[in-house]
Amino acid sequence: MTNRLWLRTALAVAGGVLLTAFGGSTRAAGAPQVSPPVPRTPIPARSLLPTAPYDCGLDPLPSSVTLCWIDRSTNEQAFAVYKRDAAGAWEKIDQVPTRNGPGVGDYYSFTDNATDISGQCYMIAAVGQLGAGDSPEDCTVRPDPGVFPQVVPPAARVWNGLSDVNDGTGDLYNRPRGRSLVHASETFGVDLDWSSKTALWKIEAQGGPHVMLGQAVALRVWGGGWLAYGHETWGVDLVLSSTPSYEWYVVGVDRPGTPIDSRPAPLADEFALWNSRAKTYLISRYQAWGVSLDWYHPAGSAFGTLHDATVTMTAQPPVEGYVPFLGSFGGGPGNTAVLTKVADPPGGVRLFFVKPGDGTDDCGKASDVIALGPGQTMAATDMRTLWGSATPSLAQQLPFLACAATQASKAFVNVEYRSQ
């Protein structure tokens, strides 16, 4: 009995040595297998990362933004200043060495003089050997009066409904009209119209995730294009473009950098839409042609410079006893002037201006023409009828078509125009 026990023990020991020698295992049958430990890269504990600095605010000026922060970390080596680029991605714009790595409570500041992006969003990171601690994002808009007005007249604050989220969609509701601006095919002017239904407008800004007052934005109407300033023969000078144009500024009574009030009407605060190319606000106002939109100018205010000129109209073949006279005024690259007055000079002939949609064979019909006698000035309502606005744009040549009972080869009118 003792010999058999000794033999089993010897065989077991010998078997273990043999298996070990040939790479086998000495694990007894049925025992759990334990894998050898795998080397791992140590992960720093969260408490070992530098503590994010305290953001003590932004100080925006017309040409700069100053950031400040207070050190709350005991193991930082530097502070990195991050700013969102035009596409919204973070980029490091500066790194400030720490003055006291083991200590806390030190005050730091940095001034950003870049003005290429309308809305500025920043983040401060305390950088250490094992990583970084990031402060919350902080955004603002520089209050630059050379870019957009700092005081907005109440008569221009007539819109609300836009989203305060970058690339978000919302309504564009006009309070005085009680309607939303929507896309619609128009015979004259820009393809916009008014509707009692809620519209969808996309608002796109450069920089951060939210849209703030004073930030340059592009606006796209659902079903159409991007709203932009552009010269039109009829109606308001607006076009729908295939590419975004950051020429609109949402401004209101709150300070620049305040998020847009995106609550639905009538809860939301009204804002104004400033256009950097037209250098004024977009408002609703009656137009004889196209959608009833116009550019805001205070009543009785003078803007631009007034000039006088004479338009020469040349005789065309007579029609039913009247001689048609045809001329034009305006046009040329970069012309931003508008026509303000048309007058028949003293000693001139009585002129009958042909209304749009009628022809020179209608010169004898009082309902189809606008009469202008010697020494008379054309009324604003008559200018709207003929050219779609009381102050039609001269970016393109403005047609002058009139008839007169005369044998003269030329007819003349005196005009006044204002350069913008």
Q: Find the mean pLDDT for residues 33-46.
A: 52
Residues 324 and 413 in one domain: yes
Residues 251, 141 contacting (CB under 8 angstroms): no
The tens digit of pLDDT for each residue in 99-158 reads: 999 999 999 999 999 999 999 999 999 999 989 999 999 999 999 999 999 999 999 999
Omega within 30 of 0 (cis) for the link into 176? no
Q: What is the spatial distance between Cα 375 and Cα 412, in angstroms, rounded to a whole number?
A: 12
The tens digit of pLDDT for each residue in 106-119 reads: 999 999 999 999 99
pLDDT at 321: 83
pLDDT of residue 227 exceeding 70, the answer is yes
Residues 255, 213 contacting (CB under 8 angstroms): yes
Residues 291 and 361 in one domain: no
Task: Count how many domains the chain has.
Answer: 3
Q: Find the mean pLDDT for residues 16-23.
A: 35
Per-residue pLDDT band at 36 (split at 50, 70, 90)? low
Query: Among residues of the chain, what percentage have pLDDT more than 90?
Result: 67
pLDDT at 299: 60
pLDDT of residue 39 exceeding 80, the answer is no
**Domain-located, residue 71:** yes
Rg (CA), the chain: 37
Strand partners, 404: 323
For residue 338, the number of C-alpha atoms closer than 13 Å in the C-beta half-sphere is 21
pLDDT at 246: 96
CB within 8 Å of 243: residues ≥ 6 apart: 226
pLDDT at 369: 95
Name the more confident of 120 and 268: 120
Residues 336, 418 contacting (CB under 8 angstroms): no
Instruction: Provide the residue range defining the domain that includes 117.
Output: 47-141
CB within 8 Å of 125: residues ≥ 6 apart: 52, 79, 80, 82, 132, 133, 134, 135
**Domain-located, residue 29:** no
**Domain-located, residue 365:** yes
Name the more confident of 250 and 287: 250
Strand partners, 403: 324, 352
Name the more confident of 18 and 190: 190
Q: How far is CA 254 from the centre of its chain?
A: 18
For tokens 């690259």, what's the residue? 333
**Domain-located, residue 15:** no
Residues 341 and 388 in one domain: yes
Residues 289 and 175 in one domain: yes
**Domain-located, residue 30:** no
Residues 191 and 235 in one domain: yes
pLDDT of residue 10 exceeding 50, the answer is no
**Domain-located, residue 19:** no
Q: What is the CATH number of the domain that holds 200?
A: 2.80.10.50
pLDDT at 32: 47
The tens digit of pLDDT for each residue in 291-323 reads: 999 999 776 555 567 788 899 999 999 888 899
DSSP code for 283: E
**Domain-located, residue 104:** yes
Residues 322 and 409 in one domain: yes
Give the 3-state secondary structure of residue 67.
strand
Residues 285, 294 contacting (CB under 8 angstroms): yes
Average pLDDT, the chain: 86
Residues 291 and 242 in one domain: yes
The tens digit of pLDDT for each residue in 43-85 reads: 555 568 999 999 999 999 999 999 999 999 999 999 999 999 9
Q: How far is CA 109 from the centre of its chain?
A: 30
Q: What is the CATH number of the domain that holds 106?
A: 2.60.40.10
Residues 311, 330 contacting (CB under 8 angstroms): no
Model pTM greater than 0.85? no
For residue 163, the number of C-alpha atoms closer than 13 Å in the C-beta half-sphere is 19
pLDDT at 297: 79
pLDDT at 158: 95
Take residue 275 and report the two structure tokens written for it.
């256009």
pLDDT at 95: 96
Q: Find the mean pLDDT for residues 348-360.
A: 92
Query: Among residues of the chain, what percentage have pLDDT more than 70?
Result: 86
Per-residue pLDDT band at 2 (split at 50, 70, 90)? very low
pLDDT at 29: 43
Q: What is the CATH number of the domain that holds 359?
A: 2.60.120
pLDDT of residue 27 exceeding 60, the answer is no
Least confident of 280-289, 351-360, 406-415: 280-289
**Domain-located, residue 36:** no
Strand partners, 419: 305
Residues 336 and 270 in one domain: no
Q: What is the spatial distance between Cα 276 and Cα 341, in angstroms, rounded to a whole number?
A: 26
DSSP code for 285: -
Q: What is the spatial distance between Cα 93 and Cα 141, in angstroms, rounded to a whole number?
A: 18
Q: What is the spatial distance between Cα 230 and Cα 280, in angstroms, rounded to a whole number?
A: 14
pLDDT of residue 229 exceeding 50, the answer is yes
Closest CA to 238 of 265, 212, 219, 222: 219
Residues 211 and 245 in one domain: yes
